[in-house]
């Protein structure tokens, strides 16, 4: 309580600004609720001021989320700082903030996070670099996939170009069957992939043993309306495997 009173005096949270006072409260529930309200009101100045002083992890998390809602470039340094926090959950939230920035430092830090010690943080970073199509993202995701990182499969599949698809097709035995199937299955779902390339993917999946490749083919067949060479090819494989 003494610490809260000191901070209130230091930062000058006046009685006329109850949300700021609540944000600095010892009551974590009240503080997190205040962060949400301040974020909705786009009051990034207050959020940045308070997080700079430090707060319990749950409050820091709420402030980071609120700063994302604010969509302000002023929060970049805060997100960069928290991307190095020892708390994995806070690192993930910081990465979400960095993902909204067009700054080169944000792009570089997201790619760096692909090497985080925590698998959840790596997966978070992988989703964002894929969505942003940051330069070099596909190669970095491929490295993760080769190391057996499950968090790289869906993101890499979502951005793999024809050349990458063919490289993946040549990696049977170098990458786990499950991850290879999940990656190619994700590419197979995309609307921007030409059918001849889909046929190649289906033929590769036909060579990949295990339930994941069968699942990818079954889901693809179910998702396609009408006749299509790749669908017919996939259906043949599913029938041969006894699938439906």
pLDDT tens digit string along 29-43? 999 999 999 999 999
d(CA 200, CA 220): 14
pLDDT tens digit string along 170-189? 999 899 999 999 999 999 99
What is the per-residue pLDDT for 226? 87
Rg (CA), the chain: 23
Asked whether 133 and 104 are in contact (CB, 8 A), the reply is no
Asked whether 123 and 97 are in contact (CB, 8 A), the reply is no
- Category of 54 on φ-ψ map: left (φ > 0), alpha (ψ -120 to 50) or beta: left
Instruction: Tell me what the mean pLDDT of segment 122-150 comes to.
Output: 94
Question: For the purposes of burial, counting CB atoms within 10 Å of the CB of 109, is it exposed (0-12), middle (13-18) or buried (19 or more)?
Answer: buried
pLDDT tens digit string along 45-55? 999 999 999 88
d(CA 219, CA 217): 5
Taking alpha carbons only, the member of 83, 96, 31, 92 closest to residue 62 is 31
Question: For the purposes of burial, counting CB atoms within 10 Å of the CB of 108, is it exposed (0-12), middle (13-18) or buried (19 or more)?
Answer: middle
Which letter does DSSP use for residue 13 in this model? -
- What is the band of 17 on the pLDDT scale with cuts at 50, 70, 90? confident
7 pLDDT above the threshold of 80: no
Mean pLDDT of the chain: 91
95 pLDDT above the threshold of 50: yes
- What is the band of 19 on the pLDDT scale with cuts at 50, 70, 90? confident
């Amino acid at each position: 309580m003494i610490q809260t009173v000191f901070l209130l005096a230091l930062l000058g949270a006046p009685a006329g600004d109850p949300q700021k006072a609540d944000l600095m409260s010892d009551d974590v529930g009240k503080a997190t609720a205040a962060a949400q309200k301040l974020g909705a009101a786009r009051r990034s100045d207050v959020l940045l001021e308070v997080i700079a002083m430090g707060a319990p992890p749950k409050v820091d998390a709420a402030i980071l989320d609120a700063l994302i809602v604010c969509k302000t470039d002023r929060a970049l340094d805060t997100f960069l700082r928290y991307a190095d926090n020892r708390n994995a959950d806070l690192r993930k939230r910081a990465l979400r903030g960095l993902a909204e920035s067009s700054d080169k430092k944000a792009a570089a830090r997201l790619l760096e996070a692909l090497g985080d010690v925590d698998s959840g943080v790596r997966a978070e970073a992988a989703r964002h670099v894929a969505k942003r199509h940051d330069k070099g993202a596909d190669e970095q995701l491929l490295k993760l996939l080769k190391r057996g990182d499950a968090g790289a499969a869906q993101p890499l599949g979502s951005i793999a170009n024809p050349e990458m698809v063919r490289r993946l097709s040549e990696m049977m035995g170098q990458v786990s069957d499950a991850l290879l199937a999940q990656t190619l299955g994700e590419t197979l779902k995309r609307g921007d992939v030409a059918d001849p390339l889909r046929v190649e993917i289906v033929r590769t999946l036909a060579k990949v043993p295990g339930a994941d490749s069968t699942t990818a083919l079954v889901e693809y067949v179910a998702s396609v309306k009408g006749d299509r060479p790749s669908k017919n090819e996939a259906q043949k494989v599913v029938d041969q495997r006894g699938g439906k």
